Amino acid sequence: MSKLQPARGTRDIYGEDARRFQKVIDTFTAVGTSYGFESISTPIFEFTEVFKRPLGETSDVVSKEMYTFEDRGGEEVTLRPELTASICRSFISNGMMQNLPCRFMSWGPAFRYERPQKGRYRQFHQIDAELIGPAEPEADVDVIAMAYRILVTLGFADRVKLNLNTLGDSESREAYRQELVTYFTAYKDQLSEDSQRRLETNPLRILDSKDEADQKLVVDAPRFSDSLNEASVDFFNRVQAGLTAAGVPFDVNERLVRGLDYYCHTAFEFITESLGAQGTVLAGGRYDGLIAQLGGQPTAGIGWAGGIERLAMMLDETPHAPRPVVMVPMGEAATVKAISVAEKLRDAGFTVTSDRSGNMKKRMNRANKAHASFGIIIGDNELENHVAMVKNLDEGTQEEVAFDQIADFIKRANS
């Protein structure tokens, strides 16, 4: 039988990778809580319509990348390709309009069938923040500032650049759409096949094209800023002023767009050169039309998502696992006593493991390899005298300590 391997585009996360992964999640949760966000968890699969309706049947995600299948009950369901649509569906399903504003943070796996590459997998993981309800530009500032604080706390904000743009309101967007149609129609024969189709359905998405011929045409395409009305300009100016007040550095990038119609006003990406060509580590924008498109009441919203794998790769150091205290009981009676002592040490906040096999030398060698701080040795003599032999594995010293004094003894030794 051949050796079993994980499916292509998936991986097992353990050891140092798991500690890096957990560092991102813990930082996200702590910073999100400081901004008033609360946790939400949604199913990893939904009825396909939850994703097909907002993303559009012609989008690459829907047409090429989604894991869609019919379940045993005959329902068409899809493994979520992202978290935002699921959270907005939950907002509608659970009647949360009466609870506005809603500040949600979530993390977990998502699934897209695409070519695996550095930091990108077919099963990947995201942290996700959504602020639903507020329509003022200062809400955009809060959400972006929260993302920036996460990057600062993780220690690599200096290696990440924030690109910022405005997509304007619906009036500005329609005016820009017409400008793009006029411009690209003149070069239709030079466009890629995909962009020729986009010209009919969603011309903004041509600006995102990776095709070299398309990119040459995009250079001279009309700029969104020329189509913005006064209200959209004011909105964007307030976002920029707020970010400056919050101490968040940014660059305005007029080529940063979102092709879907429910996006408006602020669009942003945190990008890096540390991870190769695929440099986006966190991205988001305002989506005031999404909840209505899913069947809810028109409701403003803004949010972002970041790839945990890619953020974890950027950490300068792997977080250390907590150093354990190792119980080393010698004999059956000592083993029972060691269980009791270990639980009391855990009550006191220590990480405790037990090693019950092999001779003393082998056990102490394993304790050192596990980077343990102390070994708690209990044998027949120790049981008789109601003490344990507490060995400081850093200093090589040992001392008899009463069972009920072990926690205090280790705390003093560590102080």
Looking at domain 325-414, does it have CATH number 3.40.50.800? yes
The position carrying tokens 């946790």 is 39
How many whole angstroms separate alpha carbon 30 and alpha carbon 23? 11
pLDDT in tens, the chain (415 residues): 457 899 999 999 999 999 999 999 999 999 999 999 999 999 999 999 999 988 776 566 777 899 999 999 999 999 999 999 999 999 999 999 999 999 999 999 999 998 887 778 999 999 999 999 999 999 999 999 999 999 999 999 999 999 999 999 989 989 998 999 999 999 998 999 889 988 888 888 888 788 888 989 999 999 988 999 999 999 999 999 999 999 999 999 988 888 677 889 999 999 998 776 668 999 999 999 999 999 999 999 999 999 999 999 999 999 998 999 999 999 999 999 999 999 999 999 999 999 999 899 999 999 999 999 999 999 999 999 999 999 999 999 999 999 999 999 999 998 8
269 within 8 A of 163, measured Cβ to Cβ: yes
Pairing of strands 102-111, 123-132: antiparallel
CATH fold match for the domains 15-169+229-313 and 325-414: no
Q: Choose among 147, 119, 131: nearest CA to 270.
A: 147
Give the Cβ contact number of residue 408 at 10 Å: 12
Note the helical H segments in 35-130.
49-55, 60, 84-93
pLDDT of residue 4: 86
User: Could you give the angle at which helices 332-347 and 406-414 cross, rounded to 10 degrees?
Assistant: 60
The ranges assigned to domains in the chain are 15-169+229-313, 325-414
Task: End-to-end CA distance of the chain: give it in Å, rounded.
Answer: 54
How far is the CA of 256 from the CAs of 168, 172, 328, in angstroms?
Answer: 12, 16, 60
The position carrying tokens 């850093």 is 394
How many whole angstroms separate alpha carbon 92 and alpha carbon 89? 5
How many whole angstroms separate alpha carbon 296 and alpha carbon 368? 59
Annotated binding site: 82-84, 112, 126, 130, 258, 262-263
306 within 8 A of 288, measured Cβ to Cβ: no
376 within 8 A of 325, measured Cβ to Cβ: yes
Fold of 15-169+229-313: BirA Bifunctional Protein; domain 2 (3.30.930)
pLDDT of residue 57: 66
Note the helical H segments in 186-330.
193-201, 212-218, 230-245, 290-293, 308-313
**Residue 326 belongs to what H/E stretch?**
strand 325-329
325 within 8 A of 352, measured Cβ to Cβ: yes
| Angle at 274 (CA atoms; ends 268, 279), nearest 5 degrees | 35
pLDDT of residue 116: 82
| Angle at 304 (CA atoms; ends 147, 134), nearest 5 degrees | 95
pLDDT of residue 210: 82
**Residue 251 belongs to what H/E stretch?**
strand 251-252
53 within 8 A of 47, measured Cβ to Cβ: no
Q: At 371, phi and psi to the nearest 5?
A: 60, 35
Q: Choose among 323, 337, 326, 344: nearest CA to 405.
A: 344
Annotated binding site for L-histidine: 82-84, 112, 126, 130, 258, 262-263
How many whole angstroms separate alpha carbon 273 and alpha carbon 269? 13
